[in-house]
Every structure is written in C-alpha cells, then in structure tokens.
Structure 1
Amino acid sequence: MTNITTARLLLGLLCSPLAFAQNAGRELHSYTRHQDTLELRTGDGRYLIKPYSAQVVETTFIPNGEQYDPASHAVVLAPVDVGATLTAGERQISFATPGLSVVVERKPFRISYLYKGKPLVAEKGGYARVDKLESIEFALDGDEALYGAGARAAGMNRRGQRFQLYNRADYGYGKRSMLLNTTMPLALSSKKYALHFDNPQAGWLDFDSRRDGTLRYEAIGGRKTYQVVAGDSWADVMANYTALTGRQPLPPRWAFGNFASRFGYKTEQETRAVVERFAQEKIPLDAVVLDLFWFGKEVKGTMGNLAWDRDSFPNAERMMADFRKRGVKTVLITEPFVLTTSQRWQEAVRRQALATDGAGKPATYDFYFGNTGLVDLYRPEGRDWFWNIYKELKAGGVAGWWGDLGEPEVHPSWVQHGPDGAKRGADQVHNIYGHDWARLIAEGYRKDFPDERPFILMRAGYSGSQRFGMIPWSGDVGRSWGGLQSQVEIALQMGMQGLAYMHSDLGGFAGPMLDDELYVRWLQYGVFQPIFRPHAQSDVAPEPVFRSERAKVLAREAVWLRYAMLPYNYTLAFDNSQTGMPLMRPILFEEDEATAMATTYLWGRDFLVSPVVEPGATRQEVHFPVKDSVWFDFHTGAQHRGGITEVVKPVDAHIPVYVRAGAFVPMAKVVQSTRDYSARQIDLHYYHHPSVAAGEGRMYDDDGETADAYAKGRYEIVRFASRHAAGRLEISLHTETGKAQSPQERGFALKVHNVAARPRAVTVDGRAVRFSWNGRQGMLEVALAPRRQPSAQVVVTL
C-alpha cells in the first residue's frame, strides 16, 4: 500500500464518527512484525494482530504479567498469508490486507479498522478492568443497528440494550426474553461487519445501553481476543464468519420431515399407538421423540439412568426396528445430570465421570429433578463414559439425540471441571458446555460411525456450534400468541450468527392453553422454519392427530406442503453447508433500510414469508423487498410489486407466502416418510415475468444419509436457468454428477407460471412437443421425459 493511499485512509478515519480517543495515557512504544502477525507494545501490555484472510483480522491484547492463551473454542479457520503490508508514519502505522486495514495511532494509542478504504469500527476505550470485569470498548456510528448476542427476544435491532452472556433457560417466556439458552459473544452491524469476542467465559455484551455510542464487551476473565469480520454484502459476512467458526454439515434428510414429540410418551404401547395414528390419518411422519420416561417412570429421581426402563419399554429395540421399517426414526432425550438416586450414580463416581467440588469429590447439589452430579466433559473419563452410553444405545437402534438442560440448567460457580492440575470453574466453561456436548457426539460419530450423519438436537450452544451439526431450539416457549410472536426474531438472529437451524417447539411448549387457531398458525409458520417439530407438555396434545377435526385438516395440509417442498428445502440446507447463508434470512439482507424488520422474512432466496401471529387477524402488513422486483402469491398467483408494504387479508388455510419472479422451485410428491422420497420425478415451477431477463436455480440431491456426501462425490446437482427476450423464453437444465455417483434417471414436469397467452410453440432440444396451457391460471406445463443426467433446453415462443 502506498503512503498516499494510507494518508487517504487515515483522513477518512479521522473525519469519521469513529475517531474517538482511547485512554489518553496509552501510547505505542514499539511494534514488530513476525511473518504475518503484527506485535504492538504499550505501557500496559502487548497486542497481536493477525489476519486470517483479507476479510477477517484477529486482535489479541495480553496485559503485562499474563501469558498468551492460543486456545479458541470457536475458531477453526487456519490463518493464511494474505500479503499484508506494513506502512509506518510519524503519527500512525497501517497493517493492511487487500480488504481489511488496521490503523494504529501512536499517541494517544488507538486501533481502527477500515474495509476497502472505508472506516468500519474502532476501539474506543481500549482494555480496562472495572469491578472484577475486564472490558474492551468500541465506537459506534450514530445510525448503526446491532444484532447478535445469541438467542434473545429483544427486538430485531438490539442496539440500546445490555445482554448477559450466561446461558440460561427462561421457562414459559412470551413476546420478550432478554436471556435464553444460547448466548454468544458476537455483535453484527448494519454496516456489514461482525465483532466476535473469542472468549467463552461469563460476562456481558453491551450494545450501547448508555446511549453514548459505545459497544462494550465485558467478561470475568479469559482471553482478550476478538475477530473483525467484514464483507461487501451480507452473504460475504455470513460466508466469512462461518469460514472462521465452521460450517454446518448437511443433516440427514429425515430431519426435514415431521416429528411426533411431547413431554412425554410413557410406554412402548403408547408410543406405538401414536406412530400408528399418524399413518391412519395420512399425516407424514419421520421421527418419534422420547422424553425422559424412556429411562424412568417418574419425572423426579431417575435422571441419569440412561438405560431403557424395561417395565415401560420391554421390547425397545424391536419397537425401534418396527418404526424403521415404516420410515420412522427414534430420537432419545439425554441430559448431562446424574442424580445420586439414579441407577448409574455409583458407576459414574467409580469411573470419575463427574465434575468435582473444591475437595476433589463429585460435586452434588439440588435442583428440580433431585440431588445431582454433572458429567464432566472436560476430562477424558467423563467424555468416554458418556460416549460409550451413546454407542450402546445406538447399537440398539436409536437414530438421533436430544440434549436437554445443557446450559447447564443449574451450574453452581463452585463446581470444578477438568483433570487435576488443570481445573476450571463452572463460570469459565458454562457457556461452552452445550457446545462441547455436541462436539462429543459429533466427534464420536466421526470416529465410530464415519459414514453416518448424526442428528443432534440441543438447547444450548456457543459460537461455532454449527460445525458439530447442532440443531438448536428456542427453549420452553409459552403456549401463547406472545410466544409465537418472538420466534421469527430468534430464528433470524441465530441464523445470522451461524446457527441456521434454530427453530421452535411448534404450537408452543409451556402451559395448558388449548387454542387451535394459535396451534395451526404456528404449524403453518413451521413449514418455513428449519425443523418441523410440534412439541409440548401433554396436558394439551401437541400432535396434529389428536387435535380437533378442523385443526387436524389444516395441520395435515401444512405437513403435506412441508414434504412437497423437500427438494427446495434440502437444497437450502446444502447451500448453508457450503456458504453459511441461513435458511431463514432477514429482509435486511436485501434492503439496507430494513434494520428492524422481523415480521416478514425470506425462506432461502426465493420465498417471502409473513407469519400470522395475532388471533383473529383480518389484515396483515407484508413488506415486499427490492424495488422493481415482482412477487407472486404462492397460493393464488396474484402479483405484488417490490419495494413497498401492502396490507393483505389472511385466510385460514395458510399464512401469506410469496415467490420471487424469476425463481425456480422444485417440488416433490408427498410421501408418508422421507424413506419413500424420490427426486426422480419433480414438479419444476418457474415463475415467469416479462421484467425478468434471466433467472437461475438448482436442486441438490444425494442419498440423504452419507456423511460428507458432497465432498465424497456422491451427489447430483441439477442447475436451472432462464432467459427471456423478444417474445422468447428459454429454460435450460444441466446436471452435474459427483465423481462417485451413479447418474440418476430424472424426469421433470415443467410448470411455467404467469404465461398470459397460449404459446405459439414449445420445443425441447429443438423438437416441437405437446404442452398444456391453462388460461385461467396462466400456467404452461411441459413434460420432460425421465433420463439419466438430465439436460434439456426448452424454448417457449410467446
């Protein structure tokens, strides 16, 4: 970088609102470059500044008297040499990558970050220790919106609030909850950057609660390390952040089906009857989830048994095998608590599998379920003991795991974790306990079942938990309209923070409220959230097969739509595994001005969804993003212009859903379970509009169960493209087949929407073909015969 360029960067920075002085007594004493790391020395310590890429830079402060701690629980990206340049001037130095530049004022000492020449963010107060908390402050622009801090229901733009970083359940919460099960030391800005504070210890993240333009991170101790992540677009920020912390592996395909779940099925007979009822009612089902009664007859006193109660489930293995034959997987709840009254207590003590007290004895304390110990995930004995239980249960036929209470729900500060000589207090590991629990299962599968994709449903996690395949849910939400109203925000925010499978207990969990309208609206929203899993306390049935006839009919239609959309949804999941883009996306990703919008969101790129979250709603405001775009009502075909907000009238049968003009939407035949799913005959919908000159899409397919199928070359991708000009519409298909994949025979029923007049001609690969056109619906249909590695060009003369 030239001195002229550096001067321009500094001039822009000094004219920016970010140009605040840090501690006036601090100054830069010296600097040294060690390959691609810049070391700065001040009077109170030293800084290490290290690029991971041109869009990600890490800064660590090491106070005098402390040692550098290189361990990160979140970061997996290996730093690369990005050709950073160091330029020194009389007043400042610049350490610049092709994207991010770090500018350091010598006196008073100040660190600022620029992205492609534009001021991004700057340290404000530097490092400080106040009231047993260590803090780092950053200066904010006046109109900057902030997101992050984990799972909360606090408003989409979270600026002006202070958030505790301590995972904790909020039983029965509604429209608002300031502290939930997954907190993350991560802030994202409407200026398209992220600040990730790489320290899991308990603390606070202050999003300018004092209204003085300050973002403040506070922790009880640990690393003073943060990463700045930038990008030209939100897609870039998502890609760069998930490259840093890891990408979510593709879940098994059955995870995108319907679940039967409640608190809880108490016997084998009851569980079998529920699965049979779904088949009788022709409501598709892919999994049944067993709560804590699988290992004990009572809620209290048995947690930690982690073995089948043979009185209640005498033939559990045969039951699971019978379910598998029907395409239904079995998921078991597990908890990390081992009660002193459980059958495994003495075994856990003998195997040294439990966290300890100050005297080195198993730590015990009381909570709702009884007097308990806690599995110590930070010593090998605890990990081995816990994983061997999972292995034994899996051998019997268990297909997926539910990790509950993993905050951990009760975790006294005096509890000690880890081997002798390396003990850590509870508050040091509390926020990563669920994260490391998911790691235990994911790594166990990689070691012992390397070809299988695990299903890991967890209530608590941390930055980067997505790389273990964690599927988080939003906790024990109240069965209320307020509970439903908070769910979109929680899911959108968590998707922005890497955990793209955040979802809710459909219908709400807590409380005996019987409200069929609420229940149906929640399930209709659930069609367009990552996991479709009704779950609740059993005083009001959460399964659609036990609801009123009208609610059951509407719920069945929602489930059918969920299954019909499997090709689209599975492709979204694949895209997330490759790029980090969440399945649910805020309008902010397309319109910079939509900083606080969570009432309408995008499902993938091409669906616009507006859940009905008010009882008896007769009107609903829907914002259609992107000026000059066109959106089609998914159910009626009515057109809406982008860049405006309209009032629409909701109907009982579905929530307002729209499709972007130029979109390709592959849909499949509805099946009773994904075991019977086939992508060999697809209804390929294309949403034509004269204003769209070109469109594109794709459909990803594999066997739905092989781990790393894409990397292993065991996949096919069918790519779709459209071109429209001068009364001629061209639609092409092209198939990419992985190196280890046998080409599949596929046929498509092409359905082109919004064709206003009967086409004059339709050809496929240059040959005229028969077609049908429905003038009332404006629908053109063309059959593309099944073939291996399908490739075709359809030309419609309009």
Structure 2
Amino acid sequence: MKIKILCFLIFTSISFFGQNESRFLEDFIKKENKVTIKVNDGVYHITYYTHQIVETTFIPKNQSINKESHAVVLSPEKIKLVAHTSNNRTVVISDGISLDITHKPFQISYSDKQNNLITSEKRGFFTSKHNPLEFVKGNFPYEKTEKIEFNLTSDEILYGTGARALGMNRRGNRLPLYNRAHYGYEAHSELMNFTIPLVISSKKYILHFDNPSIGYLDLDSEKDNSLTYETISGRKTYHIIIGNSWEELIENYTNLTGKQPLPPRWTLGNFSSRFGYHSQQETENTIAKFKSAEIPVDAVILDLYWFGKGIQGTMGNLEVDKDSFPDMKEMVSRLKDKGVKTVLITEPFVLSTSKKWEEANKKQVLAKDTIGNSAKYDFYFGNTGIVDIYKKEGRDWFWNIYKEILGYGVKGLWGDLGEPEVLPSWVNFGEDKKADEIHNIYGHDWAKLIFEGYQKDFPTERPFILMRAGYSGSQRFGMIPWSGDVSRSWGGLQSQPEIALQMGMQGLGYMHSDLGGFAGANLDDNLYVRWLQYGVFQPIFRPHAQEDVASEPVFRSDFAKKHAKKAIELRYKMLPYNYNLAFENNQKGTPLMRPIFFEEDDKKLMTTSSTYLWGKDFLITPILKDSIKNTEVVFPKNANWFNFYFDEEKIEGGQTKTVKVKQKAIPTYVRGGVIIPLTKIVQTTDNYNGNYLELHYWFDDSVKESERTMYNDDGLTANAFENGAYELLEFEAEIEKKYLEIDLEAEFGKNWKSTEKEVVLVLHNINWKPKRVKVDSKRKRIDVANNTLKIPVKWNTEKELKIKISLK
C-alpha cells in the first residue's frame, strides 16, 4: 500500500492545474465509506457507493444540506478506504476511484486504480454573474448563478447532456438545461425535450450533476479545457462514475439511477399512430386496412381527439367524447380481440375551458400563483393550469383519472407536453417548490406517478409509458421516450441515430423517433421508406405524423406500402433477438442501439453515428440522404461481417468500405460465427410463439467458438424474471478439427414449464456439401442450396441438443 500511495503522489503531482488560490483545507475526516472535508468556504461530503461510483456534495457556508435526490436509487456499499497525509496533500485510496486532495490552494482530483487521472475540480464551486444564452434568455431571469468547474484534457470527446442534435462530440458548446420542445427541428438542435445534467467522456467516465434545477452545461465553449456546471439553485452534488468498458460504465450508471423494467413484448411491434384519429370509426377502419393488407400491427395510439373535437380549448377534459367515440370500451375490446392494444394520450394541463377545470380548481390539485390561487396562463392550446403532482391531492386526482382510463381496457398511456410545454417561473408547486426547480423533473415525476400507480393497482401488468420529457433515472419508471416533433425531411432523419445513440448511453435505451417524421406536409415516399427501414433497428417502431400526410403505410403509395410492409415483417421476424436486447437492457442497462466504438474502442470512431450496432451482432448504416447509390460503412475489427440480405458478401472487419445501396433495405450486416435467433412472421405479437425458432449462423472459420443466449417469458407479466417465470436458451457454436458443432441448452426459472421447440437451424456461407450431418448422433440427410444449409430439428429443452456438421 505504501508503494501504491507513493506512485499515486508522484503521478498526480503533475496533474493539478487551475486551482482557486483563495480556497484552503481546514479539516479532514474519514469514516467508513465517507469522507468529510472542511474548507474555508464550506464543507465537502464524499460518499463511496461502490469502488467505481463516488458522490461529492459541496455545501457552501450559509447553506444547508439537501439530501433529496430524484436520480439515485442505489444504497452505498461498505468500501474500504485508506487515507494518507503528506505535507500539503491527502490521498484516499480505494480499489476503484481514489481521491487526491491538495490542501492549499484547495483542489480535489479523482484517479483510477491504475493511477490514471479521471478528472479534477478546477476552480470548484463559485458564484458569478449570470450570462444568459440569447435563445433561452426569457426562461432564465437570474442575475447570478452557482457554478462548479472541472478540468478537461485536450483530447477528451464529450457526450451526454440529454437529447440534442449537435454531432456525437458535444464539446465546444454551452448548453441550457431547460427541457423545451423544438418543433420541426432538422439536423441541428441545441435544445430539446430531454436535458440531462450528465457528461460522458471518451476516457470512460461519467460526471453526473444530481440537481434538477434549471441551468447550463458548458463543455469547454471557451476552449480553455474547462467543463462547468451552472445552476440557479439546489444541490451542489455530482457523481464520478467509471467503468473498464463502455458496457460496464453504463451498467454502473444505471445501477446508481435504476434499470428499465422489461416492457411488454408488444412494445417491440408496429404501432398505428397519427395526430390524430378523430373518431371510433376512423380508428377501427384504419386497423381494418392493416388487417386486409396483412401488415402486422400491435397497437393504435389515440391523440387528443379522444376527449375533444378540436385541438384548442378541450385539453384537460380527459374523458371520452362520446359523440366521436360512442362505445370506447367496446372498441378497445374489439381491437384487443384482433391483437391490437389501445394507447391514449394525456397531458398535465387542465384548460380553464375544459370539463375538469372547476373540479380541479375546487379540489386544489393545480399549481399555484404567487398569491395562492390556481395558476393560470395562456399557451397554444388555451388558457391553462397545470396539475401539481408534488401534492398528494394532485397525484391522487391524476391517478384516479388514469385508473378510469385503464378501466376501458387501455394498455398504454402517453404523457405529452411534459417538459412542461409552457411553465412560467412564477408558478409554485407543493409546499415550497418553484417552477424552475422542478421544470426539468416534471416529466420524470409524472412517469413515476403512473409507474407507482401500476405497482399499486395493476401489479401484474407491465406499463407502457410514452413520454416526451424526463430526467436522470427516468428509465426506472418504464419510460419510453421519443425525440419530439422532428421535421418530416431528410434533415430531420439525419439527426435521429445520433439522438438515440446518445440517449441510450444516458440510460434511456428506448429513445426513438416518429418514423417518417412528424412536422410538415412533405409527401416523400423515398424518405418515408428509408426512415421505416431504419426504424426496424431502433427501439420502438412507431410511424407518427401530422395528419396532412398519412403516417400509416396502408394509406401510402404502392411503392411505399410494399417496402414498409417488408420492413415491418422483418421487425416481427426479429422478435426473439429484439426481446433479448430488451432483457439485456433490463439487466445491465446496455442500450439496444450502441455506438460503433462499443465494439472498437478507436478514437477515430468516437464521433461516428452513421454506422451503429443493433445489439451486439447487427451492424446498421441508415440511408440518410435522398437517391444515393453508394454509402460508406464502417466495419469494426475483431469480426468479419456478412450481408444480412445477400449471403455471398463477406467483409473483413477493421476497414471503412463503400457499398452499393439498394432500394429493398438499408445496409445491414451480421457478425460472422454467432447464432442469431429469428422467428416466423406473425400479424400481432399475441400470435408469437416462442417455441418456433429460426437459428441463423453465418459460417466463419476464423471464429472457433462463440456463445449467445436468448431470454424468453410470457411477454406480459411484470417481474417475470424476478419471479422465475422464464427460460434462458443458450446457443454455442464450435469449430473443432473436421466438424462444426452447434449445441443448444436451456435454463429455466423455478416457475417456468419447459416445452418442446421446433427449430430450423439455418447455416449461411456453406460453400461445400457436408458429408455428414448428425443430430444427437443420428445421421440426417440434408441438401445445400445457394450456400445455405437448413436443418429442421425438434428440441426437448430439458436436454442438451448437439448438431454436428462435417466441414468437408
């Protein structure tokens, strides 16, 4: 330990810069997993949650500690810390993150167990004049703000800060932390619906600021190697999180802030959605068109016309307009019989012209103005108040409305405008919460209200909660976020992979876009087709748009309809693979869409979003420009990649290659030497049968051994895995001497009944005719056609199944 401490001191002695000369240490106390440091302008409280997660809170003089976190759910572990003081320095050593504290001038630095500097406070905490950004000036009426400043190294690439369209590297920007919709954005947007006070470094650490109050993140906009968090008020708390891999880093962050519950399987199907269906007849006729066209569909989403005939003046009614929907409950039931689930929109605004205004005002469930009356103000939809979800009365009132809605048989809830869309600074919530202190967590706490309501009143159901705004940790409430009112244009499409990849790294693995684009009357069938082809490989497949141009394929041209149908059918074939991605996200926080540098940790790829990974084994390059004939694809090293649609094309990893673009699909490649589970096309996930599998394997003699798993349960029941109602299938491929051997095994939860499976093993890139194929030592006659070998087998999952194929 003495040698380690000496090395640490020598290393970090060259790593300090930018200290605040007026700050100095007065006292240092270490107790178990906590460190308390008294400095001349306040007190630091440092808590180790794990060796790789450290929380630092600074309490300035004349301020008191605020222990309330809206993000953190993890409890601190018992961590062994060793402290050593020498001259002007104290070090605290752990098996993960270590502290180096300079006494005078005071500074904290964080390093990993290899003594590599993670980050350090620069000036640390200070207060200074507020310099508002022009485009949010009206939202930030403050003369001074509180800041915490950190050092950056010159080569760091920075991600995070929520949903933005800025390019993958967000360094060089000063960005507001103020959730605000951006209608009709395209390839660039500095401010959108999700602003998250979190920065991810290419050095594999996360800096998370645990304070929901509005503010800014300055990612070295002055080019002086500084990162500055700025806020109007609230906690001066931040987390340093590290990991040895990108997957571990995100797992650690989601351990801290919560894991996404496993959604119902139908969430991965196709949605029929638009703004909006005006009547029961229109809704049912639309679904009938899907059925007659044999285009799979699993849900229909009703926008605001379910409670009012007009866009303006009716928000807040939140009860069925019986003129337009005369028998909502029966309609929902009829749709359910067809395998289609109904999702209804709701908003937190109660207009003074709505049916519920008088009741909401009388019951005191709305936020207040400065003199204690229900706050009222104008916005696009009318004169409104907003539900105070920070009062028990407000939460109970809102949830009782949801219970009534769910009583119709509705299976999903949509929370729109939850930024909130408009929220003046003078509005007050709860006992003492100001609008600007809760603005960025209103959507987060709204999702929490719904999620906890489900747990109480519908404990066996998995909720579907579609939300446009949230905060750090919103994933733990089952939030399904989307990227807002994107322009229906090629520019709008171009920003979508970046937004989804960034949000997945920030814990919100189901970020997706309105497929086809939302805003504008642009009728472009090629754009529509390319967006839906990309949508196959994004977390939620939900075409949605303003109704002036149809979002549903059944109302589009024959060209668009044909290609959209193919894309949707592929989405359903991929249900086993995609559901396993959902399980991985639930267990470890791993995003469904993953940046390519997850596979190849190369600085040249750190800003790439044009090619990405769908899970571990699909390599996707969306077509983001019109009528292009060729595009570049980045092929990560350590694997060979096969064209998913054209078996004859095999590309060696570790290169960027120009490939031809075809109309039928976007460039899609699969990793060689691994087994990928697919299934039959079904018209709804209600008809999905986990006992039928196609196991696809692209032969690659350089991959001597591989193993993949596939999770399965009933797709509906909450906490199925935790309650042991699941099966975990294991697929192993091994090349040994003269044979390729495929082994299939299964593990079961204590409450799962095993069943026989009908499996077709599909071997691609088989350019020879095998002399022998044995299934459990019994020879099987097989033909090879088009370099593909299909082996149908029955698998009793109580036993291991071995398939051996001779290599010549």
The TM-score, its normalising length taken from structure 1, stands at 0.98
Contact kept, 8 Å, 1:681 with 1:786, in 2: the verdict is: no
Residue correspondence of structure 1 range 372-521 to structure 2 within 5 A: 372-418=384-430, 422-521=431-530
- Equivalent residue, structure 2, for 1:713: 724
Relative to structure 1, the CA distance from residue 698 to residue 772 in structure 2 (aligned partners, 3 Å threshold; closer, same or farther) is farther
- Equivalent residue, structure 2, for 1:5: 4
Contact kept, 8 Å, 1:680 with 1:745, in 2: the verdict is: yes
Give the secondary-structure state (helix, strand or coil) at the position aligned to 1:795.
strand
> How far apart are the structure 1 equivalents of 2:167 and 2:13?
32
Give the secondary-structure state (helix, strand or coil) at the position aligned to 1:492.
helix
Give the counterpart of 2:760 among 743, 749, 763. 749
Residue correspondence of structure 1 range 106-145 to structure 2 within 5 A: 106-116=103-113, 117-131=115-129, 132-145=144-157
2:782 aligned partner, one-letter code: F
2:641 aligned partner, one-letter code: W
> How far apart are the structure 2 equivalents of 1:155 and 1:120?
24
Residue correspondence of structure 1 range 494-643 to structure 2 within 5 A: 494-592=503-601, 593=603, 594-626=605-637, 628-637=638-647, 638-643=649-654
- Equivalent residue, structure 1, for 2:284: 272
User: In terms of mean alpha carbon deviation, does 432-441 or 764-773 score higher?
Assistant: 764-773
1:83-114, Cα deviation, whole Å (9 max, x unpaired): 12222222211222211111111111110111
> How far apart are the structure 2 equivalents of 1:522 and 1:142?
37
> How far apart are the structure 1 equivalents of 2:798 and 2:128?
64
- Equivalent residue, structure 1, for 2:136: none
> How far apart are the structure 2 equivalents of 1:662 and 1:198?
43
> How far apart are the structure 2 equivalents of 1:107 and 1:3?
23
1:471-502, Cα deviation, whole Å (9 max, x unpaired): 00000000000000000000000000000000
> How far apart are the structure 1 equivalents of 2:210 and 2:187?
30
Give the secondary-structure state (helix, strand or coil) at the position aligned to 2:285.
helix
- Equivalent residue, structure 2, for 1:91: 88
Contact kept, 8 Å, 1:586 with 1:602, in 2: the verdict is: yes
After TM superposition, give the deviation of residue 33 of structure 1 in Å: 1.9
- Equivalent residue, structure 1, for 2:263: 251
After TM superposition, give the deviation of residue 642 of structure 1 in Å: 0.8
Give the secondary-structure state (helix, strand or coil) at the position aligned to 2:44.
strand
> How far apart are the structure 2 equivalents of 1:301 and 1:443?
30
Q: Is 2:53 aligned against 1:44?
A: no
After TM superposition, give the deviation of residue 788 of structure 1 in Å: 4.0
1:29-72, Cα deviation, whole Å (9 max, x unpaired): 11112332100000000101110001100101000111111110
Contact kept, 8 Å, 1:746 with 1:789, in 2: the verdict is: no
> How far apart are the structure 1 equivalents of 2:490 and 2:154?
34
1:635-678, Cα deviation, whole Å (9 max, x unpaired): 00210111110001111110000001122111111111000001
> How far apart are the structure 2 equivalents of 1:208 and 1:188?
14
> How far apart are the structure 1 equivalents of 2:383 and 2:705?
64
Give the secondary-structure state (helix, strand or coil) at the position aligned to 1:429.
helix
- Equivalent residue, structure 2, for 1:64: 61
- Equivalent residue, structure 2, for 1:207: 219
1:377 aligned partner, one-letter code: I
Contact kept, 8 Å, 2:675 with 2:697, in 1: the verdict is: yes
- Equivalent residue, structure 2, for 1:77: 74
1:193-245, Cα deviation, whole Å (9 max, x unpaired): 00000000000001111100001100001000000000111011011000000
Q: Is 2:344 aligned against 1:335?
A: no
Give the secondary-structure state (helix, strand or coil) at the position aligned to 1:68.
coil
Contact kept, 8 Å, 1:772 with 1:782, in 2: the verdict is: no
Q: CA RMSD in A?
A: 0.9
2:123 aligned partner, one-letter code: G
User: In terms of mean alpha carbon deviation, does 501-510 or 395-404 score higher?
Assistant: 395-404
Give the counterpart of 2:297 among 272, 281, 285. 285
Contact kept, 8 Å, 2:213 with 2:436, in 1: the verdict is: yes
Contact kept, 8 Å, 1:47 with 1:61, in 2: the verdict is: yes
Give the secondary-structure state (helix, strand or coil) at the position aligned to 1:330.
strand
Give the secondary-structure state (helix, strand or coil) at the position aligned to 2:359.
helix
Contact kept, 8 Å, 1:746 with 1:790, in 2: the verdict is: no
1:719-778, Cα deviation, whole Å (9 max, x unpaired): 11111132321111110110011112212111111122111211122222232322x3x2
Q: Is 2:768 aligned against 1:770?
A: no
1:532 aligned partner, one-letter code: F
After TM superposition, give the deviation of residue 791 of structure 1 in Å: 2.4
After TM superposition, give the deviation of residue 283 of structure 1 in Å: 0.4
Give the secondary-structure state (helix, strand or coil) at the position aligned to 1:653.
coil
Q: Is 2:651 aligned against 1:654?
A: no
Contact kept, 8 Å, 1:481 with 1:518, in 2: the verdict is: yes
1:14-33, Cα deviation, whole Å (9 max, x unpaired): 334xx213101111111112
Give the secondary-structure state (helix, strand or coil) at the position aligned to 1:288.
strand
Give the secondary-structure state (helix, strand or coil) at the position aligned to 2:546.
coil
Give the counterpart of 2:740 among 729, 736, 741. 729
> How far apart are the structure 2 equivalents of 1:51 and 1:786?
48
Give the secondary-structure state (helix, strand or coil) at the position aligned to 1:577.
helix
Q: Is 2:684 aligned against 1:673?
A: yes
1:403-430, Cα deviation, whole Å (9 max, x unpaired): 1000000000000000xxx311100000
Give the secondary-structure state (helix, strand or coil) at the position aligned to 2:761.
strand
Give the secondary-structure state (helix, strand or coil) at the position aligned to 2:5.
helix
> How far apart are the structure 1 equivalents of 2:185 and 2:505?
22
Contact kept, 8 Å, 2:728 with 2:748, in 1: the verdict is: yes
Contact kept, 8 Å, 1:257 with 1:532, in 2: the verdict is: yes
Give the secondary-structure state (helix, strand or coil) at the position aligned to 2:297.
coil
Residue correspondence of structure 1 range 309-388 to structure 2 within 5 A: 309-388=321-400
After TM superposition, give the deviation of residue 548 of structure 1 in Å: 0.2
After TM superposition, give the deviation of residue 513 of structure 1 in Å: 0.3
After TM superposition, give the deviation of residue 452 of structure 1 in Å: 0.5
Gap runs ≥5 in structure 2? 130-143
1:44 aligned partner, one-letter code: D
> How far apart are the structure 2 equivalents of 1:380 and 1:789?
51
Q: Runs of 4 or more off by more than 4 Å in structure 1?
A: none
Residue correspondence of structure 1 range 119-268 to structure 2 within 5 A: 119-131=117-129, 132-268=144-280
Contact kept, 8 Å, 2:675 with 2:733, in 1: the verdict is: no
1:23 aligned partner, one-letter code: N
Give the secondary-structure state (helix, strand or coil) at the position aligned to 1:532.
coil
User: In terms of mean alpha carbon deviation, does 689-698 or 185-194 score higher?
Assistant: 689-698
After TM superposition, give the deviation of residue 790 of structure 1 in Å: 5.3
Give the counterpart of 1:689 among 696, 700, 717. 700
2:266 aligned partner, one-letter code: W
> How far apart are the structure 2 equivalents of 1:46 and 1:600?
46
User: In terms of mean alpha carbon deviation, does 141-150 or 751-760 score higher?
Assistant: 751-760
Number of equivalenced pairs: 789
After TM superposition, give the deviation of residue 789 of structure 1 in Å: 3.5
Gap runs ≥5 in structure 1? none
> How far apart are the structure 2 equivalents of 1:285 and 1:697?
29
Give the secondary-structure state (helix, strand or coil) at the position aligned to 1:128.
strand
> How far apart are the structure 1 equivalents of 2:396 and 2:721?
30
1:120 aligned partner, one-letter code: I
> How far apart are the structure 1 equivalents of 2:124 and 2:744?
55
2:577 aligned partner, one-letter code: Y
Give the counterpart of 2:307 among 278, 286, 295. 295
Give the secondary-structure state (helix, strand or coil) at the position aligned to 1:554.
helix
> How far apart are the structure 1 equivalents of 2:87 and 2:798?
64
> How far apart are the structure 2 equivalents of 1:663 and 1:577?
23
